[in-house]
Amino acid sequence: MFNRLFLFYFSLLSQLLFFVNCLNFPGARAGQTSALVGTKLYFFGGDSNGEVWYLDLSNSSLFNTSTPMWYKDVSMPLKNFYSTSCVSPTNNSAVFIIGGRQLLPNSSAVAFNSFNSSVFRFDPNNNSLWSIPNITNFNSTFKTRNLIQAVIDKTRRIFIFGGSNFEANSSDNSSIIYYNDMNLLDITTMSWSTLNILQAPPPCYAYTSTLLPTGLIVILIRTFNTTSFVWSNRTVNGSSIETRIGHSAVLSQNSDIIVYGGSKESQLGPQTLPNLCVLNTNSWIWFIPDIPPVNTPQSLTFHSAALYKDYMVVAFGHIASTQGLFNKDVYVLDTQKYTWVGIDNTETTTQDSSTSQKNKLQSPSNPSSINGLYIGMIVVGGIGIVLVGVTSFFGYLLYKKAQHKSCN
């Protein structure tokens, strides 16, 4: 009798575990920001949510027709999308999330004025702790600044150019401001500087920003010298490349800038061509790789891309030319062979990560609050207690179902 009872509850528990784990994957989204911390590729927010997910890229099978294994981490203090992120170069110790459109939890209300700052720090190596840094001379326009791209240099200085504000109650675009200032956040001293440079490019948003080993920041196709603070124009040759917004760019091991995706005019606009192109930063020549038409991903915009070793990992985003459909899949490009790896994006069971932890937020200042071609725009996560365990999983299953409508 005991054996039958044990087998019954064991079977029931296994089924519940299957259904619970089946729900442990991120839904489709766009506008998230991503950051590579060691071998973990994190995705923050996107599509009016504050979820944090990550892929562990140390599992090399991901680059060999495998199914991505997703892990969920502690959620953000606020829903956030169209922000930017940087990883501290000191032992990958922290991720800084800057700007974006921020919404209060369980609400669609804009939370631009809920905090003294729109800079958040995430410590993946410290119990996934969230905090608000004390920043001197913070530029208050970053409470509404979004559609930006940051880079960080070896001296722990974050550079952010341009972007736009966001007025949630505006009935037209008359109150939207587009910026062309260069902002610098020194995360060693936690001091902010806004550089207004006369020869700066026109205002720009939804662009890409790439830091070269030489210290030049490439915002296609102008460069900014992080030592002299001087902008320069670059003459580029080679293949014809259309202007775009909402694209991505990664720097390959040989200092080529690989540009993927993007759309014309807006996030819902038609895709630009070619879908993937490469800029050689030694010769400043564009070329279009001859990529075999196998495992080719959908054309995406406002997605994420990151380089891990010789692989570019592309995830989420709007599916271009579909009037707003979101993508939930991951794609991998071998940047040495220029071939797309066949990833199985079928939803599958994964291990739970730190989802049981509380969403901690510490704020020292306010502890109670929680061409050329100009690609850009504007030119452009014991037997004795079996019954208790089963009951707990019923409750957990109901909780997960409340979060996720379905498990396909």
pLDDT in tens, 316-335: 999 987 877 999 999 999 99
Q: Between 351 and 109, name the one with better pLDDT.
A: 109
Task: Collect all residues with Cβ–Cβ distance below 8 Å to 45 and sequence separation of at least 6.
Answer: 31, 32, 33, 51, 52, 76, 79, 80, 81, 83, 100
Percent of the chain with pLDDT over 90: 58
Question: From CA 190, how far away is CA 242, in angstroms rounded?
Answer: 38
With H, G, I as helix, E, B as strand and everything else as coil, classify residue 314.
Answer: strand
pLDDT in tens, 175-188: 789 999 999 999 99
pLDDT in tens, 48-104: 889 999 999 987 667 776 788 899 999 998 889 999 999 999 877 899 999 998 876
- Domains of the chain and CATH, by start: 1-26+382-408 (no CATH), 27-380 (2.120.10.80)
Predicted pLDDT at 126: 92
pTM of the model: 0.81
The DSSP symbol for 143 reads G
The DSSP symbol for 264 reads S
With H, G, I as helix, E, B as strand and everything else as coil, classify residue 69.
Answer: coil
pLDDT averaged over every residue in the chain: 79
Q: What are phi and psi of 141, to 5 degrees?
A: -65, -15
Question: From CA 387, how far away is CA 408, in angstroms rounded?
Answer: 28
Give the model's confidence band at 115: pLDDT under 50 very low, under 70 low, under 90 confident, else very high: low
- Cβ burial, residue 204 (10 Å; 0-12/13-18/19+): buried
Which H or E run contains 260?
Answer: strand 256-260
Question: From CA 9, how far away is CA 334, in angstroms rounded?
Answer: 46
Question: From CA 239, how far away is CA 37, in angstroms rounded?
Answer: 34
Question: From CA 41, how far away is CA 306, in angstroms rounded?
Answer: 8
With H, G, I as helix, E, B as strand and everything else as coil, classify residue 1.
Answer: coil
Q: Between 267 and 158, name the one with better pLDDT.
A: 158
pLDDT in tens, 215-238: 999 997 899 999 999 999 999 999
pLDDT in tens, 329-363: 999 999 999 999 988 887 754 444 444 344 455 54
With H, G, I as helix, E, B as strand and everything else as coil, classify residue 188.
Answer: coil
C-alpha distances out from residue 267 to 67, 95, 154, 317, 394, Å: 28, 26, 33, 10, 41
Instruction: Kindly tell me if the per-residue pLDDT of 154 is higher than 80.
Output: yes
Percent of the chain with pLDDT over 70: 73
Q: Is the dihedral of CA 38, 32, 19, 390 positive or negative?
A: positive
Mean pLDDT of 102-117: 63
42: which 2 tokens? 């994190």
Q: Is the dihedral of CA 272, 274, 279, 284 positive or negative?
A: negative
Q: How many residues does the chain have?
A: 408
Which H or E run contains 195?
Answer: strand 191-195
Predicted pLDDT at 102: 83
Give the model's confidence band at 114: pLDDT under 50 very low, under 70 low, under 90 confident, else very high: low
